[in-house]
Amino acid sequence: MNIYEKMIKCALDSQKRAYTPYSKFNVGAAVLTESGKIYGGCNIENASYTPTICAERVAIFKAIYDGEKKIKKIAVVGKENSLTFPCGVCRQVIREFCTIDCEIIVIKNEQEYKIIKFSELLPYSFGPEDL
């Protein structure tokens, strides 16, 4: 199984763990760190909506908690047979921990996915080196 297949499987498995009693929109994510570890995440909703957290941030924050600092690739899956891209808040968090050439794997289903560079999602981004 290649790295893309492993990440897609992790994102799809993570999607099943989503807590979405309000939107019913389950999202799963997987991040590959510089050390080669893969971390999964799912979205977790809250009745007041503001504290809701996206799958991408859950996966990233799990990696950071474990001491990882660099993300190499991120996989995201949302609505079945549709491409679900990271929201604006997640894009900024992704920018904090990966380079602009980081690969984003947007999953339509287990066999179909699109790979794009992060710079395509957030051109002219503001990152740590800008401070």
Catalytic annotation, residues: 56
How many helices (H) and strands (E) are present in the chain, helices listed first? 4, 5
Enumerate the β-bridge partners of residue 107.
77, 113
Of 20, 6, 18, 23, nearest in space to 56 by CA:
18
> What type of residue is 7?
M
Cα–Cα dist 60/69, whole Å: 9
Cβ pair 25, 55 in contact under 8 A? no
